[in-house]
Amino acid sequence: MSGSKRIAGNLFYLLSGGVVASILEFLTEVTLARRLTDQGFGHWSYVQSVIIYLLLIMDMGLAVYGAREIARYKEKASEFIANIVVIKSLLAVVILVIFSAVIMLLNMSSELKILYIGGALLLVPQALNPEFIYQGYERMAGIALWRISNFLFYFILIYFMIRDRSSLWTVPYYKAGAGIISVVILWLIVKKIFTLPRFSDLNLKVWPGYIRVAVIMAFSFVIINVYHTFDTLMLGVFTTPETVGWYNAAYKVILQFVGLAIIMQVVFGPVFSRQRDSSADLAETLNYFSVLLMIIAGLVCGLMFLLGDHIILLLFEQSYFNAIGILRLLSVSLLFVFIQFIFTSPLLYCGYEKVYLVSMFAGAVVNITLNFILIPLVGYFGAAAATIISNVIIGLAGYYFLNSRTDIPRRVFKTILNIVIFTVISVAGLSVFFKSYTAGLIFVVIYSVFILKLYGRLIWELITQLFNKVSDYSFEGSHK
């Protein structure tokens, strides 16, 4: 595949960095869940579900827009960088001031006010985050460094500073501080390997054009977070903080693996952008993308379902026992998350942001409607069911719009069907006849054989390209 060496190298950096960052993030969340109790952890989870919308409003889709445009027009990179960073910074200040004023006027405890305002400080590092520069230049090592350093500093602060429920109010301040330290490190590296923008690159006349396109993406990302966080909001309204804590414990596990799909999107996104006008190249890349996504999806979803009880009880306390069933339901949802990424990612990076928005909106409408109906009736199981169905709707809409704009190779559908059918049948059979540990081990073995038989050549190509990439860097290093 054209550019496979670059893709392999970027996957290596993001996957290795993503694994380390995910472990650090997960250890942090487990530490918080244990030390804050399920009630305190539920409060922090609820605050985060609100703050995420402020982050989306501030970003306005500008990060993805900047990465996409830098990938296409690298000669104009300085202009994109200067204007996007300034726009995001101004928005962050405005949102932070307004939100803090509103929170101070609300009738809630002092602890919660401090917690919300501290959460809003996360706008600062995100406004200055240069990740989009690294993605646009397809230098994913920088993104991996950001994620590792951000979660490393956050984990260190939480581990040594948070002792019990009384420390709840300090959590967002530690998280914001970790982000600011990481942003400073990343900009120091940007200064060394890229050309920094000049003041003359700042041009207010281009802002309306940037915002016009980016705001469509922003609406899409807000809607995405509706079906990622609306269930938490509804559970907070109709159930107890403990229930929110159970649901979020399971959801935190799932989100670690959603991150793998996002990593794939970050790596392939600039490639989709460059190949928009070449149907043949785009189809080949889409096939490669679908195979890698589905291999990960089948393995992860199968193991989450089979080992759900051990995962929850190992990572959390016995009080989170009710999260086991939630995790198993959400593992089914995760499978459809990976499938919808196959069809929606090219829409986003090829400039079809309007139909990308329509796809997300369709899923959000279904998600909101079902949450209103199901959560009052069956609680957290209703929230999980709503998430599954909304992801199916997004995938169907994404397929419809992408298929009407480019030729989707039949191999993509064959890959999806092969892996979904094999995973479902294997997991169903193993869960009936074997205990979870044994079932998980057998599943890994038979799944690996199945994948190697169907996609061994592609996997070998990827490994070869990774080896060549590392060899190139070693060769360059020995001659410096």
Number of neighbours of residue 192 by Cβ within 10 angstroms: 7
pLDDT in tens, 189-236: 888 777 778 878 888 888 888 888 888 877 777 777 666 777 777 787
Asked if residue 341 has pLDDT above 90, the reply is yes
Task: Grade residue 119 by pLDDT with cuts at 50, 70 and 90.
Answer: very high
What's the confidence (pLDDT) of residue 420?
94
Residue 136 burial (10 A CB sphere; 0-12, 13-18, 19+): buried
Asked if residue 475 has pLDDT above 50, the reply is no
Please state the three-class secondary structure of the chain as a single string.
CCCHHHHHHHHHHHHHHHHHHHHHHHHHHHHHHHHHHHHHHHHHHHHHHHHHHHHHHHHCCHHHHHHHHHHHCHHHHHHHHHHHHHHHHHHHHHHHHHHHHHHHHCCCCHHHHHHHHHHHCCHHHHHHCCHHHHHHCCCHHHHHHHHHHHHHHHHHHHHHHCCCHHHHHHHHHHHHHHHHHHHHHHHHHHHHHCCCCCHHHCCHHHHHHHHHHHHHHHHHHHHHHHHHHHHHHHHHHHCCHHHHHHHHHHHHHHHHHHHHHHHHHHHHHHHHHHCCCCHHHHHHHHHHHHHHHHHHHHHHHHHHHHCHHHHHHHHCCHHHCCHHHHHHHHHHHHHHHHHHHHHHHHHHHCCCHHHHHHHHHHHHHHHHHHHHHHHHHHCHHHHHHHHHHHHHHHHHHHHHHHHCCCCCCHHHHHHHHHHHHHHHHHHHHHHHHCCHHHHHHHHHHHHHHHHHHHHHHHHHHHHHHHHHHHHHHHHHHHCC
What's the confidence (pLDDT) of residue 124?
94
Q: Mean pLDDT over residues 325-329, rounded?
A: 87
Query: CA-CA distance, 234 to 229, in Å (whole number)?
Result: 9
- Comparison of pLDDT for 264 and 117, the residue scoring more: 117
Q: Mean pLDDT over residues 242-262, rounded?
A: 82
Task: Grade residue 4 by pLDDT with cuts at 50, 70 and 90.
Answer: low
pLDDT in tens, 259-311: 788 888 888 888 888 888 788 888 888 988 999 899 999 999 999 899 888 88
pLDDT in tens, 419-467: 999 999 999 999 888 888 899 999 999 999 999 998 888 777 766 765 5
Asked if residue 179 has pLDDT above 90, the reply is yes
Query: CA-CA distance, 395 to 363, in Å (whole number)?
Result: 9
- Comparison of pLDDT for 16 and 469, the residue scoring more: 16
Asked if residue 62 has pLDDT above 80, the reply is yes
Asked if residue 142 has pLDDT above 60, the reply is yes
Q: Which of 1-5, 16-20, 176-180, 371-375 has the lowest mean pLDDT?
A: 1-5
Q: How far apart are the first and last CA of the chain?
A: 30
What's the confidence (pLDDT) of residue 414?
93
Asked if residue 473 has pLDDT above 50, the reply is no
Q: Mean pLDDT over residues 353-370, rounded?
A: 90
Query: CA-CA distance, 302 to 424, in Å (whole number)?
Result: 8
Asked if residue 367 has pLDDT above 80, the reply is yes
Q: Which of 338-342, 388-392, 419-423, 432-436 has the lowest mean pLDDT?
A: 432-436
Asked if residue 109 has pLDDT above 50, the reply is yes
What's the confidence (pLDDT) of residue 480?
37
C-alpha angle 341-343-349 in degrees, rounded to nearest 5 = 85
Task: Grade residue 17 by pLDDT with cuts at 50, 70 and 90.
Answer: confident
Q: Mean pLDDT over residues 35-57, rounded?
A: 85
Nearest to 135 by CA among 278, 259, 284, 273: 273
Q: Mean pLDDT over residues 325-332, rounded?
A: 88
What's the confidence (pLDDT) of residue 477?
42
